[in-house]
Structure 1
Amino acid sequence: MTNNVFQHGSTAGMRIHVLPTKAFKTFAISLYAGVPLEEGTVTSTALVPFVLRRGTAAYPETTQFRERLEELYGAGFGFDVYKRGDYQIVQFRMDTINDSFVQSKESLLGESFAFLGEVLTRPALENGSFRSSYVATERETVRKKLEAIVNDKIRYAAERCIEVMCEDEPFRLHPLGQRSDLDGITPDNLYKSYQDWLNGAILDLYVVGDTTPEEVEQLVKRHFGRNSSETGQYSSRFTPVTVSGVRTVEEKLDVNQGKLNMGLRTSITYKDDNYASALMYNGILGGYPHSKLFVNVREKESLAYYASSRYDGHKGIGTIQSGIESQNYGKAVDIIRKQLDELKAGNISDLELSQTKAMIRNLLSEIQDSAFELISFDFNRQLSGKERTALELLDQVEGTGAEDVKAAAETFHLDTIYFLTGQKEE
């Protein structure tokens, strides 16, 4: 594994991260815009990129917008909206072919920057605000995405477990916002929200490809005319939550299969030196097919259709997801809690350790093969303020023993049990 190191700088109120490399035939461009997760702004912030992708001042019709991408030799453009810790992140992505592989008069990197700068800072307008038809259509797009969560009961149960567990924290909010807010969003107030968002967001621009930080800096100055000269900074808003007792919530919906989800709190986050131990803990608990949850709950006891765990290193939360027959609820809870106790007791086999290390090693190695994965890994550094390369993290994982995993396990405390079960006939 090579140590791919980004070169960092800033200009025009934006942090710039460039990885000069000839390893890829394309340029990967990623722009992250982060703001605090807040009830009053979460839905409008989520809606903004949906409207921005419909058209710009130069390409106001959606067909023109798409044709322009085709002219750039089929450049890819997309976006995501998600949360990291208590921040809501909008990520725009472009990938465009390296100039040396095509006969183009213009620099494709330069043209891609011009396009992305246009999308972000010069949207299609009518009467001084967003086009009403675009806002109306994209409001429905977001509404359907939020409604789809309710229809996907596995996702719904996972979201509800977080909502219950974090009811007094911004993290309870879904990154796409709340359906109840959508009807109140107009072209005028959304345009105002967009301006506030653009001026207030922490902006990180990444480029991976055959370029230099100097070239990227010039392109940013030319195509992202932001008034701000100040670059924002993510502050660690993490404060460990003390678990005083386990809260149990049961909900009934029309489901054939019960969804048993559990939420755990830990004091270990991405920026901590023992982050690798928490990764190993999650891997042994339920991150992979050889994990304790999969083997003991699903295979040995045949209690679950699926059983796995996740660890959010920016929020300090672990979650367990399982699908069970509703009558097996008590038994499933007992066996899952037994796996948590086994880890706290340090009952971890050499095979579990070596298999988990192999899985994490594969994941960290795969990062090197994808420009966007390299970007995503480095962005964790910007969010957390922790300097750690993939190679350093791998070394820490390789050096993790059963005692380290046990110590990590002792910081994970069960906070919430959420059970979604079928409607019982009266």
Structure 2
Amino acid sequence: MTNNGFQHGSVAGMRIHVLPTKAFKTFAISLYAGVPLKEDTVTPTALVPFVLRRGTASYPETTQFREQLEELYGAGFGFDVYKRGDYQIVQFRMDTINDSFVQSKESLLGESFAFLGEVLTKPALENGTFRPSYVATERETVRKKLEAIVNDKIRYAAERCIEEMCRNEPYRLHPLGQRADLDGITPESLYKSYNSWLDGAILDLYVVGDTTPEEIEKLVKRHFGRSDAAVAAYSSNFKPVSVSEVRTIEEKLDVSQGKLNMGLRTSITYKDDTYASALMYNGILGGYPHSKLFVNVREKESLAYYASSRYDGHKGIGTIQSGIEIQNYSKAVDIIRQQLDELKRGNISDLELNQTKAMIRNLLSEIQDSAFELISFDFNRQFSGKDRSAQELLTQVEQIGSGDVKAAAESFQLDTIYFLTGQKEE
């Protein structure tokens, strides 16, 4: 099956997505491994890729691991851990130069698959379990990353707002896990977690470059050593959350600048036909420098150092982030709520519509210039089960009027107000 250039199939228990193209001088390879976000597995799952990148059976020392990437003409290798909806996703990426541009005895694409397959399925072991030294070091790496969030008050406030709003949902969990869980993780327990993660993960493998689905299927069979297990897919268990009352949470820390964050719920998600309207709503509210929050809260009233909004289309959540003088709290809340009401009343200028369409048009057209952006866009489609190309989404965006944005605005309900304030007495 093909759509938007990607050809889709499955082999060895994973879904394969190949975009044969000569447009790029490299092969972009991306492997997504997704599992449901869960309290007891979120931290070990986050730690696993940090340990996997330290060494494999053939390259057990980290220096050998890096030297092998150099052997592949400086291939890029990296990973991310994040959440999509109520899933925790580990994404491995490789970027390898196309064979036709170098003098290489072996196929570089084949060598890259051998490397990635080994990273995933044949980690460096000691006495049948993960190397204790690697586990100890990488536990500290993850701990530092989690501590960095607490020290970055803008990120901290954004995370805390989500944590409070989604306090009874898996989505409250940070994809890197919880600091309190790290000390209890041993090489043995992590190796066990790794095996159950690998067995249970939903796997999507992407390749963009001058190749064919047939070649990729052969490489997967050869290098991933997995049986032809049933291929799993993501299940959308989205249920709109109705808001009965707005909760306000105030937290005191040693900060001089207040952080005012708000969480909104909407029934519109990525798979809905009205998704384009929700994108436009977020863009006009706070997605761009011309948006209502930026212009009215920051520029006109000088109430905020920053003010913006985000929309998570996989979870049906909107968030507002702003940094304010602590004494301006009430005034800032009132003005932000006014902007939400303006949108619900349909008070949207042609200029706001046209500028927002132009920004979204730029973002969607830039996707075509990057192999990894193409992959990311298609993965959103696979994840959500909604088959919609970037061009189709753009066409929908172009047709949206203020009435469509007003309708989307009516579905966004303020749920949580979170205020991070100082400890000093006024």
- Shorter chain as denominator, the TM-score bin is over 0.9
TM-score computed with the length of structure 2 as normaliser: 0.99
Instruction: For 1:130 and 1:286, locate their aligned partners in 2 and report how far apart those are by CA, in whole Å.
Output: 46
Instruction: For 2:229 and 2:158, locate their aligned partners in 1 and report how far apart those are by CA, in whole Å.
Output: 40
Equivalent residue letter for 1:73: Y
Equivalences for residues 12-23 of structure 1 within 5 A: 12-23=12-23
In the TM superposition, residue 159 of structure 1 has moved relative to its aligned partner by: 0.1
State the match for 2:167 in structure 1: 167
Q: Is the 8 A contact 1:50 1:138 kept in 2?
A: yes
In the TM superposition, residue 4 of structure 1 has moved relative to its aligned partner by: 4.2
State the match for 1:179 in structure 2: 179
State the match for 2:192 in structure 1: 192
Instruction: For 1:16 and 1:120, locate their aligned partners in 2 and report how far apart those are by CA, in whole Å.
Output: 16
Instruction: For 1:110 and 1:226, locate their aligned partners in 2 and report how far apart those are by CA, in whole Å.
Output: 17
Q: Is the 8 A contact 2:11 2:228 kept in 1?
A: no
Task: Indicate the SS of the match to 1:334.
Answer: helix
In the TM superposition, residue 424 of structure 1 has moved relative to its aligned partner by: 2.0
State the match for 1:361 in structure 2: 361
Equivalent residue letter for 2:118: E
Q: Deviations over 1:326-376 (max 9, x none)?
A: 000000000000000000000000000000000000000100000000000
Q: Is the 8 A contact 1:199 1:228 kept in 2?
A: no
1:324 is aligned to 2:315: no
State the match for 2:260 in structure 1: 260
In the TM superposition, residue 267 of structure 1 has moved relative to its aligned partner by: 0.1
In the TM superposition, residue 205 of structure 1 has moved relative to its aligned partner by: 0.1
Instruction: For 2:307 and 2:4, locate their aligned partners in 1 and report how far apart those are by CA, in whole Å.
Output: 35
1:10 is aligned to 2:10: yes
State the match for 1:421 in structure 2: 421
State the match for 1:221 in structure 2: 221
Q: Deviations over 1:101-136 (max 9, x none)?
A: 000010000000000000000000001100000000
State the match for 1:293 in structure 2: 293
1:73 is aligned to 2:112: no
Equivalences for residues 14-53 of structure 1 within 5 A: 14-53=14-53
Q: Deviations over 1:285-316 (max 9, x none)?
A: 00000000000000000000000000000000
State the match for 2:310 in structure 1: 310
Any gaps of 5 or more consecutive residues in structure 1?
none
State the match for 1:108 in structure 2: 108
Task: Indicate the SS of the match to 1:352.
Answer: helix
Instruction: For 2:391 and 2:212, locate their aligned partners in 1 and report how far apart those are by CA, in whole Å.
Output: 23
State the match for 2:134 in structure 1: 134
Q: Is the 8 A contact 1:258 1:421 kept in 2?
A: yes
Q: Deviations over 1:176-214 (max 9, x none)?
A: 000010000000010000000000000000000000000
Q: Deviations over 1:148-196 (max 9, x none)?
A: 0000000000000000000000000000000010000000010000000
Instruction: For 2:422 and 2:21, locate their aligned partners in 1 and report how far apart those are by CA, in whole Å.
Output: 54
State the match for 2:63 in structure 1: 63
In the TM superposition, residue 5 of structure 1 has moved relative to its aligned partner by: 1.9
Q: Is the 8 A contact 1:33 1:203 kept in 2?
A: yes
Task: Indicate the SS of the match to 1:410.
Answer: helix
In the TM superposition, residue 229 of structure 1 has moved relative to its aligned partner by: 1.7
Instruction: For 1:388 and 1:286, locate their aligned partners in 2 and report how far apart those are by CA, in whole Å.
Output: 25
TM-score computed with the length of structure 1 as normaliser: 0.99
Task: Indicate the SS of the match to 2:59.
Answer: coil
4+ aligned runs moved over 4 Å, structure 1? none
1:387 is aligned to 2:387: yes
Aligned-CA RMSD value: 0.7
Instruction: For 1:388 and 1:229, locate their aligned partners in 2 and report how far apart those are by CA, in whole Å.
Output: 28
State the match for 2:157 in structure 1: 157
Task: Indicate the SS of the match to 1:368.
Answer: helix
In the TM superposition, residue 227 of structure 1 has moved relative to its aligned partner by: 2.8
Equivalent residue letter for 1:327: Q
Aligned residue pairs, count: 424
Equivalent residue letter for 2:310: R
Instruction: For 1:113 and 1:249, locate their aligned partners in 2 and report how far apart those are by CA, in whole Å.
Output: 49
Comparing 357-366 and 229-238, the one that deviates more: 229-238
Task: Indicate the SS of the match to 2:81.
Answer: strand
State the match for 2:247 in structure 1: 247
1:236 is aligned to 2:236: yes
